[in-house]
């Protein structure tokens, strides 16, 4: 499997894992390596099988086929309470009848650890998640963000080989979520523990993770670093799922040119052969907008009219209608001053040949 796992030893290996629920195949032949110390994200739309994959690693589901190995040991037969992994649940699943201390120390109390040592380690955990002084509180006296941190501390106290996070930030509001993402990354660097996070939020996955596995309908669609997945999506579906994109259909005419309804477009040399039906994917921020046709550019310059402007604060997203009635998305950073273009203005779009990605599927 591509994507930079080779430099570190493999900790978790999914080998041809299949999970069926009745007639539904939730996870379909997933083969995946997760390296020691990696922050790994499983990303995909709801129902894509990412949570099932995580639950199989935790031991709550058994694979219908295939093997799951941790440090080279097959763990399918190991019950959840004996696995060297701990999970932070989406609902946090904190025990309402225990205090904060009771919750965080729960895992250690199952292991015949002495009272004094538990107290010390719980204090350490409270300090780590910045909840010092909250130990005696009941769970219902905590805010959502505090509960999230108790759940994190409870999952970390046993020093698991792998920490599993099931949509850990889904219940937080946007601002708190952004802060917590950076806290999670800092924590992961500090502890060196392997984190596997499940999320449907592509932005979150790209921010926190070293590598991302994008899943679709139970299969791995692409595995790689966030930048690889964003810059070099391997399919139309990925390009469309991750971030904003405009797609232009065409046929390869030469190794560096494709013929489209908008005329010939220059591309980076790709593996596609002449005559192949392909699709050119262009990210909105890689396209320039200008009033005049850019000088010296014969192709990769198209005229259009501004159809819609979506103001987002940091950027504005322009939808430009081209000659063939299709819409292209262009992002402009709002750097101050009056907006450069208005709706119905005639504009020119241009981009470098390296800006686009040629997709064959």
Residues that bind other proteins (CB under 8 A): 58-60, 79-82, 85-87, 89, 91, 93-97, 106-107, 110-111, 138, 140, 154-155, 158
Between CA 87 and CA 124 the distance in angstroms is: 19
Residue among 85 and 212 whose Cβ is closer to other proteins = 85
Residue among 5 and 108 whose Cβ is closer to other proteins = 108
Between CA 134 and CA 51 the distance in angstroms is: 31
Least Å distance, CB 60 to other proteins, is 6
Between CA 30 and CA 267 the distance in angstroms is: 33
Residue among 139 and 359 whose Cβ is closer to other proteins = 139
Judged on CB neighbours under 10 Å (0-12, 13-18, 19+), 340 is: middle
Q: What tokens were used for 163?
A: 């920490």
Residue among 112 and 175 whose Cβ is closer to other proteins = 112
Order of strands, edge to edge, in the sheet holding 73-74? Answer: 24-35, 10-21, 65-70, 73-74
Residue among 73 and 97 whose Cβ is closer to other proteins = 97
Least Å distance, CB 112 to other proteins, is 10
Answer whether 322's CB lies under 8 Å from 301's CB. no
Least Å distance, CB 79 to other proteins, is 7
Least Å distance, CB 180 to other proteins, is 20
8-state DSSP, 272: P
Between CA 265 and CA 351 the distance in angstroms is: 10
Least Å distance, CB 18 to other proteins, is 22
For residue 293, the number of C-alpha atoms closer than 13 Å in the C-beta half-sphere is: 9
Answer whether 52's CB lies under 8 Å from 103's CB. no
Spell out the residues 6+ positions from residue 44 whose beta carbon is closer than 8 angstroms to its own: 50, 200, 214, 215, 216, 221
Answer whether 81's CB lies under 8 Å from 111's CB. no
Residue among 110 and 254 whose Cβ is closer to other proteins = 110
Residue among 42 and 206 whose Cβ is closer to other proteins = 42
What is residue 48's three-state secondary structure?
coil
Least Å distance, CB 80 to other proteins, is 4
The C-alpha angle with vertex 25 and arms to 22 and 31, in degrees rounded to 5, equals 140
Least Å distance, CB 343 to other proteins, is 46
């Amino acid at each position: 499997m591509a994507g930079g796992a080779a430099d570190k030893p493999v900790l978790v290996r999914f080998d041809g894992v299949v999970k069926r629920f009745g007639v539904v195949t939730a996870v379909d032949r997933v083969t995946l390596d997760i390296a020691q110390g990696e922050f790994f994200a499983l990303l995909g739309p709801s129902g894509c099988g990412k949570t099932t994959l995580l639950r199989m690693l935790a031991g709550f589901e058994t694979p219908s086929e295939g093997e799951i190995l941790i440090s080279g040991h097959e763990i399918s037969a190991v019950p959840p309470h004996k696995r060297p992994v701990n999970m932070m649940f989406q609902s946090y699943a904190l025990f309402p009848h225990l205090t904060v201390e009771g919750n965080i120390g729960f895992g250690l109390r199952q292991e015949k650890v002495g009272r004094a040592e538990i107290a010390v380690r719980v204090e350490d955990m409270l300090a780590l998640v910045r909840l010092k002084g909250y130990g005696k509180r009941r769970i219902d006296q905590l805010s959502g963000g505090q509960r999230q941190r108790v759940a994190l501390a409870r999952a970390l106290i046993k020093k698991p080989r792998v920490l599993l996070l099931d949509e850990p930030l889904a219940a937080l509001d946007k601002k708190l979520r952004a802060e917590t993402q950076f806290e999670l990354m800092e924590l992961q660097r500090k502890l060196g523990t392997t984190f596997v996070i499940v999320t449907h939020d592509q932005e979150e996955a790209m921010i926190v993770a070293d590598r991302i596995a994008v899943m679709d309908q139970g299969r791995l669609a692409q595995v790689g670093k966030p930048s690889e997945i964003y810059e070099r999506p391997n399919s139309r579906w990925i390009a469309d799922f991750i971030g904003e994109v405009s797609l232009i259909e065409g046929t390869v005419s030469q190794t560096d040119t494709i013929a489209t309804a908008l005329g010939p477009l220059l591309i980076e040399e790709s593996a596609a052969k002449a005559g192949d039906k392909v699709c050119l994917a262009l990210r909105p921020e890689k396209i320039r907008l200008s009033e005049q046709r850019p000088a010296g550019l014969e192709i990769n310059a198209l005229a259009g009219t501004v159809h819609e402007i979506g103001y987002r604060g940091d950027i504005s997203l322009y939808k430009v209608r081209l000659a063939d009635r299709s819409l292209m998305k262009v992002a402009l950073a709002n750097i101050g001053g009056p907006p450069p273009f208005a709706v119905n203005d005639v504009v020119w779009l241009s981009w470098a040949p390296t800006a686009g990605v040629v997709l064959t599927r």
